Amino acid sequence: MRRPTETMTPLKKSGPLTNWILRHASTALGSLGRLVRQPFASLMTLLVIAVTLALPASLHLVIKNAEAISGSWENALDFSIYLKMDTSLQQAEKIAALIEQRADVLSVAVVSADDALRDFKRESGFGDALDHLATNPLPHALTVRPSPANTASAMQTLQEELANLAETDLVQVDTEWVQRFHAFLEIAERAGLMAAVLLGMAIIVIIGNTIRLDIQNRREEIEVTKLIGASNSFIRRPFLYSGLWYGLGGGLMALALVSYGLHLIAAPVSRLAGLYGNSFALLALEPTESLVVLGVGVFLGLTGSWTAATRHMRRIEPR
């Protein structure tokens, strides 16, 4: 086997691209090393960034879960039509068939007076007392599920027309509070977005300030490197990598905080869902959403460090 030696084979010169990658890798590692060598200060900065990123991320989760819950309340949109007492079951079924043909109605179910009484006995706890009733005091009723495509005004029209039927005694709608809830979620989503923008600006300021201090501490080094011919981009590079590490580290810690928070409230939430006879499970951040958190962290880190480095570096000129 031939063993290559430097005398036998000419020195392999690494290409410009390899050099470029090596240079960036060593700068990136150097910046990381600097952060690691001051663990307490770095951790404090990272924690501030993490909390600031975790706030909008968890707000987003709250809204997302609330939307998921309200989505499972579709039946709350049903109309209950209580028919007049003198309406027979056959008549009720005929009306139900008529209503079901409407385009703005998905389905209609007939709840006979006997069924209603039986359910009432079971659920109210007055079972024995009700047995003494000579006649059933309850009317026949229809449960109308509107088409999900209905607009708010279409719902209004449907409700009025159902109320105007000759056999209708009372139409009961539960839609209003659901609509209010959706409007509220929309406001919360807007407010959350605005808060996220403000908090993002705070992160830029935090990282910028950290980098500014770093630049002041390394003033001597910057002066010397400028004297021996370093360009501004060469001097800026390690600070940009510091900003990148802050953003990435802060993003990772934010994800950890959010998932720990989810873990803490998962048990009470499933107990609450159990009380409502519901098997609702909390939604966590999806992989793409986690990537967004990290990406935003990195972007803010780079923006903050770029601004600070460019601003403060220019003032340091060798004398």
Partner 1 sequence: MIRFEDVSKRYPGGHEALQHLSIDVERGEMVFVTGHSGAGKSTLLKLIALIERPTSGQVIVDGRNTRKVSRRKIPAYRREIGMVFQDHRLLHDRPVFDNVALPLIIAGVGPREAGRRVRAALDQVGLLTKEKQRPATLSTGEQQRVGIARAIVTRPKLLIADEPTGNLDPDLSFEVMRIFRRFNEVGVTVLIASHDVALIDRMGCRRIALEKGHLQAEREDTAVDDYFAELEATGEEPESWL
Contact segment (CB under 8 A) with partner 1 among 15-23, 92-100, 102-110, 298-306 equals: 15-23
The residue count for binding partner 1 (CB under 8 A) is: 25
Contact segment (CB under 8 A) with partner 1 among 19-27, 141-149, 253-261, 275-283 equals: 19-27
Candidate residues 125, 127, 137, 318; the one interacting with partner 1 per rule CB under 8 A: 318
Place of tokens 């079972």: 127
Q: Is 260 in the site for partner 1 (CB under 8 A)?
A: no
Residue 306 token pair: 């770029």
Q: Would you say 155 or 222 has its CB closer to partner 1?
A: 222
* HSE-CB for 300 with a 13 A CA cutoff: 30
258, 297 in Cβ contact below 8 A? no
Q: Would you say 116 or 230 has its CB closer to partner 1?
A: 230
What is the Cα 304 distance to its own chain's centre?
25
Contact segment (CB under 8 A) with partner 1 among 12-20, 102-110, 245-253, 296-304 equals: 12-20
- Sequence letter at residue 14: S
d(CA 31, CA 243): 9
Q: Is 22 in the site for partner 1 (CB under 8 A)?
A: yes
Tell me how far, at minimum, the Cβ of 234 lies from partner 1, in Å: 6
CB atoms within 10 A of CB 199: 18
Show contacts with partner 1 in window 52-81 (CB under 8 A): none
Candidate residues 19, 107, 124, 179; the one interacting with partner 1 per rule CB under 8 A: 19
Q: Is 107 in the site for partner 1 (CB under 8 A)?
A: no
Q: Would you say 11 or 149 has its CB closer to partner 1?
A: 11
Nearest residue to 50 (alpha-carbon basis) of 305, 297, 306:
297
Candidate residues 18, 124, 172, 216; the one interacting with partner 1 per rule CB under 8 A: 18
280, 297 in Cβ contact below 8 A? no
Binding mask 220-259 for partner 1 (x = CB under 8 A): xx-xxxxxxxxxx-x-------------------------
Q: Would you say 22 or 256 has its CB closer to partner 1?
A: 22
Tell me how far, at minimum, the Cβ of 60 lies from partner 1, in Å: 42
d(CA 120, CA 190): 43
- Residue 125, sorted as left (phi over 0), alpha (psi -120 to 50) or beta, turns out to be left
Neighbour-count burial of 101, counting CB atoms closer than 10 A to its CB (0-12 exposed, 13-18 middle, 19+ buried) = exposed
269, 282 in Cβ contact below 8 A? yes
Residue 161 token pair: 């027309």
Which residues in this chain contact partner 1 in the complex, by CB under 8 A?
A: 11, 13-14, 16, 18-20, 22-23, 220-221, 223-232, 234, 317-319
